Amino acid sequence: MKPPQCLQWERDVAESIERLAGLMRDSVLSKPSSHFQSIDSIVRIAGDHFQGHSGDLEASLFRAFKDFDHYRGLGRVPLLNSDDASLPVSIRTVKRRLDASGFLEHEETYTHSSALRAAIDKWADLDDAYAVGTVEEAAESFHDNLETFMTNRFGGLRMWESAEVPERIPHGRVMNDAKTEGPTSSNIGTGLFRVTVKCKAPGYRILVSPAYFIDWVYFGAPSTPVTNGMLPGRYIFGTDSVDGSVISDGVIFRIPNDFTPNLERF
């Protein structure tokens, strides 16, 4: 049984994460000039919660805040439907998918309101897994799934520190195929779990995104399987399609303990 002081500390952390997620939701809903705190300071608070294990989280949050600034002016947000949530999608993910269909040629046009509006209108027609929601709906999804992601990271790091699980990558160890970019960019060799992704066919390049704001980064290749180290969190996996867009598996996996995700869509 945990001592009372330990239980109180865990409750305090949970409340702190809840407040932080709420602050981030309020920030994506409001103009930068009206933010009570700057985006830099908000992201810094997030980093302080997971010292040494937050580089990926901070980069993702900066991208989300930047893109929501554009979405807010349009009143709509592109979404990806997963197995249990509709997740807001980054502008560069929209660009990648629409470029594959020959919709627009230059990235900078996607931040012009008329072009971005047209791209979002087109988004929902491209795949059954795609949708468009209001800024308020997307902000609530962002809040709920970010809070769950951060809670999972906190609990996962506690597990890494205290438990000897086979998938734990100890201090001083680095995966042979660990990259300098992507989900393992923060504090290689500490806080990481060994994750082995399997899919139906060989030769795929596996991508991954945090399951609160879809923004794909490289996980590893070629399938199958592909193994790399990952920090705790909730993630969704995908792969490059033949036209250059990303095929999402559509299932959210939690690290720990989903150490061997089996992808069924490809």
Using one digit for the tens of pLDDT, what is the confidence trace for 225-239? Answer: 999 999 999 999 999
Tell me what the mean pLDDT of segment 181-199 comes to.
Answer: 67
Question: In the predicted model, is pLDDT for residue 177 greater than 80?
Answer: no
88, burial (CB in 10 Å: exposed 0-12, middle 13-18, buried 19+): buried
Sheet holding 130-133, edge to edge: 86-88, 77-81, 130-133
216, burial (CB in 10 Å: exposed 0-12, middle 13-18, buried 19+): buried
Q: Quick check: is 223 in a domain?
A: yes
Question: In the predicted model, is pLDDT for residue 182 greater than 70?
Answer: no
Residue 71: pLDDT band with limits 50, 70, 90: very high
Which residues sit opposite 235 in a β-bridge? 210, 253
Q: Quick check: is 183 in a domain?
A: yes
Question: In the predicted model, is pLDDT for residue 180 greater than 80?
Answer: no
Torsion of CA 26, 27, 29, 35, to 10 degrees: 110
Structural domain tally of the chain? 1
Q: Quick check: is 238 in a domain?
A: yes
C-beta separation of 239 from 205 below 8 A:
yes
Question: In the predicted model, is pLDDT for residue 187 greater than 50?
Answer: no
Peptide bond into 261 cis (omega under 30): no
Question: In the predicted model, is pLDDT for residue 106 greater than 70?
Answer: no
> pLDDT tens for residues 209-220?
999 999 999 999
Strand ranges, E, within the chain: 77-81, 86-88, 130-133, 193-197, 206-210, 217-220, 226-230, 233-240, 246-255
If we measure between CA atoms, which residue out of 218, 196, 221, 201 comes closest to residue 209?
218
Could you give the CA distance from residue 66 to residue 60 in angstroms, rounded to a whole number? 10
Tell me what the mean pLDDT of segment 15-42 comes to.
Answer: 83
Residue 197: pLDDT band with limits 50, 70, 90: very high
Question: In the predicted model, is pLDDT for residue 176 greater than 70?
Answer: no
Question: In the predicted model, is pLDDT for residue 118 greater than 70?
Answer: yes
Task: Please give the pLDDT value at position 181.
Answer: 37
Q: Quick check: is 96 in a domain?
A: no
Tell me what the mean pLDDT of segment 149-163 comes to.
Answer: 91
Residue 108: pLDDT band with limits 50, 70, 90: low
Tell me what the mean pLDDT of segment 108-133 comes to.
Answer: 85
Q: Quick check: is 245 in a domain?
A: yes
The range of the structural domain enclosing residue 212 comes to: 166-255
Q: Quick check: is 220 in a domain?
A: yes
Task: Please give the pLDDT value at position 110.
Answer: 56
If we measure between CA atoms, which residue out of 106, 199, 243 comes closest to residue 208?
199
Could you give the CA distance from residue 184 to residue 174 in angstroms, rounded to a whole number? 10
Could you give the CA distance from residue 261 to residue 245 in angstroms, rounded to a whole number? 21
Mean pLDDT rounded to a whole number for the chain? 86
C-beta separation of 210 from 149 below 8 A:
yes
Question: In the predicted model, is pLDDT for residue 10 greater than 90?
Answer: no
Task: Please give the pLDDT value at position 8.
Answer: 78
- Cβ count near 164 (within 10 Å): 7
Q: Quick check: is 70 in a domain?
A: no
Tell me what the mean pLDDT of segment 121-134 comes to.
Answer: 93
AA letter at 123: W
The tokens 């409340």 sit on which residue?
15
Range with top average pLDDT, 31-35, 44-48, 144-148, 162-166: 144-148
Residue 103: pLDDT band with limits 50, 70, 90: low
Q: Quick check: is 144 in a domain?
A: no
Sheet holding 217-220, edge to edge: 217-220, 206-210, 233-240, 246-255
Task: Please give the pLDDT value at position 3.
Answer: 62
Task: Please give the pLDDT value at position 5.
Answer: 60
